[in-house]
Chain A
Amino acid sequence: MNKHTLTPGRYLVLLCVMLTASVGDTFLSHGMSQVGKVDMHHLGLLFVALKNVWVISGIVLLIGFFASYLSALSWADLTFVMPATAFGYVIVALLSRFWLHEHLSIWRCLGIGMIVCAVGFVANGPSRTEHSLEVMDSGVGR
């Protein structure tokens, strides 16, 4: 059985992993910019942040991320799923530049480009490592 072959539904799960994580992080950032700077003497502000609508929205999206992430980990390697999420950083960079109006230098753009290239290296590999133990497990389970 070719473990690398993913169904459209599983690609959709990976897409959810990518989008919910990046948009959720951006929402959290926007919310934290409204809450203010948290230092070691004002850690209570972290709990105040939980009342911010952007932080709450970010949390909801990150719960969606977690659900789709767990689903993906049940049929693919961690080192396969993790790079799939890296495409989200392009979205984060664009959102932070055009929505949050943060500065995005040429160096950061190049850095993001390098990470995306790294994703390309692993994207063509098999999605799951076959273990002898896993074969035994599947035999017992079925």
Chain B
Amino acid sequence: MIANASLHAWFAIFGVAALAVMGEVLTAGAMRRIGDLDDIRAVSGLPGAIKAVLSSPMFVIGALAMALNFFMMLYALSLADVSLVAPATASLTYIGNAIAAKLFLRENVDRRRWLAAVFVVIGVALLAH
């Protein structure tokens, strides 16, 4: 299936994944700093929760990366089937997130989660077969 998929499609897929990792790690870091939105909403209401999120520079940069990711996703979907693009980008994003979460967010990415990443890599290879 790799032979059939164009180079442009795979370039777009990797671009989507890279932007998604950047956006999601920055967003997750921002949300961790902001705290539980349920608690904030209980005290300040929905406007307070929205204000807390939107006033975070880390969130804004992450959201910008996600916006770019969205347009790159549209580009990728115009080049390849959704049943390839959606799982492939998400799988690559998942691996990137596991690495980035370990390095930057200091999440406990234990052996079980790394094993899951290996399964995802195999899954992506099968998707591209």
In the bound complex, residues from chain A placing their C-beta under 8 Å from that of B97 are 78-79, 82
Residue of A28, A38, A92, A121 ringed by the most chain B CB atoms within 10 A: A121
In the bound complex, residues from chain A placing their C-beta under 8 Å from that of B32 are 73-74, 134
A119 within 8 A of B: yes
Identity of the chain B residue whose Cβ is nearest the Cβ of A121 in the assembled complex: B116
B120 within 8 A of A: yes
B57 within 8 A of A: no
Contact B83 A92 (CB under 8 A): yes
Instruction: List B1-50 residues whose CB lies under 8 Å from chain A.
Output: 1, 8, 24-25, 27-28, 31-32, 34-38
In the bound complex, residues from chain A placing their C-beta under 8 Å from that of B53 are 70
Residue of B31, B81, B91, B110 near A70 (CB, 8 A) is B31
Give CA–CA (A111, B88) in the complex, Å: 9
Give CA–CA (A66, B66) in the complex, Å: 10
Give CA–CA (A77, B97) in the complex, Å: 11
Contact A78 B35 (CB under 8 A): no
Instruction: List A105-135 residues whose CB lies under 8 Å from chain B.
Output: 105, 107-108, 110-115, 117-119, 121-122, 125-126, 129, 131, 134
A-facing mask of B50-70, CB < 8 A → 1, else 0?
000100000000000010001
Q: A28-B74, A82-B94 are in contact. Are A74 and B34 (CB under 8 A)?
A: yes
Identity of the chain B residue whose Cβ is nearest the Cβ of A7 in the assembled complex: B38
User: Residues of A within 8 Å of B, CB-based: how many?
Assistant: 61
Give CA–CA (A126, B113) in the complex, Å: 11
Contact B122 A114 (CB under 8 A): yes
In the bound complex, residues from chain B placing their C-beta under 8 Å from that of A25 are 73, 77, 82, 86
Residue of B74, B90, B122, B126 near A86 (CB, 8 A) is B90
Contact B116 A70 (CB under 8 A): no
Identity of the chain B residue whose Cβ is nearest the Cβ of A80 in the assembled complex: B107
Give CA–CA (A107, B123) in the complex, Å: 9
Shortest CB–CB separation between residue B38 and chain A, in angstroms? 7
Contact B90 A121 (CB under 8 A): no
Contact B112 A38 (CB under 8 A): no
In the bound complex, residues from chain B placing their C-beta under 8 Å from that of A28 are 73-74, 77, 82
Interface residues of chain B, those whose CB is within 8 Å of chain A, are 1, 8, 24-25, 27-28, 31-32, 34-38, 53, 66, 70-71, 73-75, 77-79, 81-87, 90-91, 93-94, 97-98, 101, 105-110, 112-113, 115-117, 119-120, 122-129
7 further A-B contacts with Cβ under 8 Å, apart from A74-B37, A117-B119, are A28-B74, A38-B79, A79-B109, A83-B94, A92-B86, A118-B94, A137-B35
